[in-house]
Amino acid sequence: MFAGAQLSLYPMTDGFVGTILEALEALDPWRDRLRVETDDISTLIVGPPEVLFPALRDLYVRAAATRHHVVLRATISRGCPGEPDDPACVTGALADPDTPLATRIAEAKAIVAEAPQTGEEAAAQFSLYVMGNGDHMAEIYGCIDFLKESGTFDRSKNFCTRVKGDAGPVFATISEAFCRFGPPEGHVTLDLTVSANSPSTKR
């Protein structure tokens, strides 16, 4: 399997270069388990989901701690048929789709409830895309049911779901949505936007 994220960070500050570079330093503790490639548009992170999402969380938290308004955009994918399998992405984090949805939802809720607090708030919206054979809409509806019970659910929006709260549970919610819904051998993608310190929330 191949799993990874293509991400871009947008700080709303004149000092955006320093903010981006400092945030990328938050990936350093994870680099022995991830492949990280940065160019002038985005950063690619390749590795298993159980490492990928904590690394994304830490990058976001480092950027949010600047108190600038920052936005993280990421496309996250697993099982893409156009990518070769990568041994670095071997994972045991993906749920068995034969496990009943109710069980998977309960397990995902338990993980979110145990997620560590970071002290940084996150407002996120994302869409989950389950491709390939099988009843993909059942998986998506199951994911939506989980989100509504996750403790981070904010509201449904056109084409996406919004979650908010401390970045720890928020990124755990997103990780569980990615890992527990859709077949392990299938192609699953997630389109994610996370915002910190938006001035709109102060109006």
Q: Is residue 170 part of a domain?
A: yes
Split into its structural domains, the chain has a count of 1
Flag whether 17 is in a domain. yes
pLDDT of residue 135: 73
Distances (CA, A) of 115 to 8, 53, 124, 139: 24, 12, 16, 23
Q: What tens digit of pLDDT does each residue of 91-144 get?
A: 999 998 889 999 999 999 999 999 999 999 999 999 999 986 667 888 999 999
Does residue 125 lie in a domain region?
Answer: yes
Residue 133: its pLDDT value, please? 67
The residue whose two tokens read 């509201």 is 155
The per-residue pLDDT for 201 is: 78
Examine the pLDDT at 203 and tell me if it is beyond 70: no
**CB under 8 A, 24+ apart: contacts of 144-147:** 145/101, 145/105, 146/104, 146/105, 146/108, 146/109, 146/176, 146/177, 146/180, 146/181, 147/173, 147/177
Nearest-5° angle of CA 6, CA 49, CA 84?
65
| Tokens found for residue 192 | 């994610």
* pLDDT band, residue 12 (cuts 50/70/90): very high
Q: Do the domain assignments include residue 162?
A: yes
Is the confidence at residue 50, as pLDDT, over 70? yes
Q: For residue 32, is it within any domain?
A: yes
What average pLDDT score do residues 11-20 get?
Answer: 94
Q: Which of 35-44, 62-71, 72-81, 193-202 has the lowest mean pLDDT?
A: 193-202
Report the half-sphere exposure of 178 (CA within 13 A, side-chain side): 27
Torsion over CA: 136, 138, 143, 144 (sign): positive
Backbone angles phi, psi at 99, to 5 degrees: -70, 130
What's the pLDDT band for 35 if we cut at 50, 70, 90? Answer: very high
DSSP state string for 148-197: HHSS-EEEEETTEEEEEEEHHHHHHHHHHHHHHSS-TTSEEEEEEEEEES
- Whole-number Å distance between alpha carbons of 101 and 88: 28
Closest to 165 (Cα-Cα) out of 203, 132, 122, 108: 122
Give the range of the structural domain holding residue 94, as residue numbers without chain letter: 3-198
What is the rounded CA–CA span in Å between residue 180 and residue 42? 27
Amino acid at the residue 41: I
Distance CA 102, CA 146 (A): 9
CATH number (domain holding residue 181): 3.30.70.930
Would you say residue 203 lies in a domain?
Answer: no
> Residues 11, 69: contact at Cβ < 8 Å?
yes
Quote the mean pLDDT of the chain: 94
Contact in structure between 177 and 190 (CB atoms under 8 Å): yes
